[in-house]
Amino acid sequence: SAVISQKPSRDICQRGTSLTIQCQVDSQVTMMFWYRQQPGQSLTLIATANQGSEATYESGFVIDKFPISRPNLTFSTLTVSNMSPEDSSIYLCSVESLGDRGYNEQFFGPGTRLTVL
Amino acid sequence: GIQVEQSPPDLILQEGANSTLRCNFSDSVNNLQWFHQNPWGQLINLFYIPSGTKQNGRLSATTVATERYSLLYISSSQTTDSGVYFCAVESGGTSYGKLTFGQGTILTVHP
């Protein structure tokens, strides 16, 4: 299984500023995924981060707004740039890894709860 | 892209009751997973079940891939089962690890 930690756990930010969220995994993984969960909504994939290459963004998400770094196989960062109140969400980091039950499972970090004023 | 629909959207139970949650998907999938999001926001993987039936304690799940649906059964529900249950699917040849989530079922279990 994979244990994922995220920093910060929550933050309140002013519009127009940027916040960088860190994701640390306790094992090496090829791909890391960033999701957004808007208030009362489901999860939406923002991008896939591979070590050593540019992140792949889903429709509706762009690199200028959500730049991602992946410097090694256990760490990634997501920056939310030039924030507006519409960016208020929970941001979750995820990896796919072999679970204790013997098959691949998706593991999620505890999330970063962002409020933009 | 693939569509994932869950029902019911909300469910209120008394402790000890049984329930069935449904997930319909619009295309063939490589895998299907059920998650529980607790009131603190943490997502826990319940089942990886692209087809067939699995059981884990009071929970079980069945996926009928040919008919594009999955069911999650909760028996003898407890207050700690409260939260949001998500179905998520992975589809397509190049979408390894990329999940499309349903809108979720909000379960409230009263003592």
pLDDT digits (tens, 9 = 90+) for B85-105: 999 998 876 566 789 999 999
What is the structure's pLDDT at A50?
87
Mean pLDDT along residues A45-61 = 91
What is the structure's pLDDT at B94?
58
Chain A / chain B CB contacts < 8 angstroms: 52
Res. A117: pLDDT tops 90: yes
Res. A43: pLDDT tops 90: yes
Mean pLDDT along residues B7-15 = 97
CA distances from A10 to A22, A23, B53, B88 (A): 12, 13, 38, 25
CB A107 within 8 A of CB A4: yes
Q: pLDDT, tens digit, for every residue of A18-40?
A: 999 999 999 999 889 999 999 99
Across the interface, whether the CB atoms of A90 and B96 are under 8 A apart is answered: no
Q: Which band of pLDDT confidence, cut at 50, 70 and 90, is reported for residue A100?
A: confident
CA distances from A101 to A65, A74, A96, A98 (A): 38, 22, 13, 8
Across the interface, whether the CB atoms of B43 and A101 are under 8 A apart is answered: no
Determine the residue of chain B that is closest to A108 in CA distance: B43
Helix, strand, coil fractions of chain A, as percent rounded to 5? 5, 55, 45
Res. B48: pLDDT tops 70: yes
Angle in degrees, CA B26, B29, A5, rounded to 5: 110
Chain B residues with a Cβ under 8 Å from any Cβ in chain A: 31, 33, 35, 41-43, 45, 48, 86, 88, 96-104
**Direct distance between the N- and C-terminal alpha carbons of chain B, in angstroms, rounded to an integer:** 40
Which amino acid appears at position A5 of this protein?
Answer: S
- Alpha helices, H only, chain B: none
What is the structure's pLDDT at B95?
60
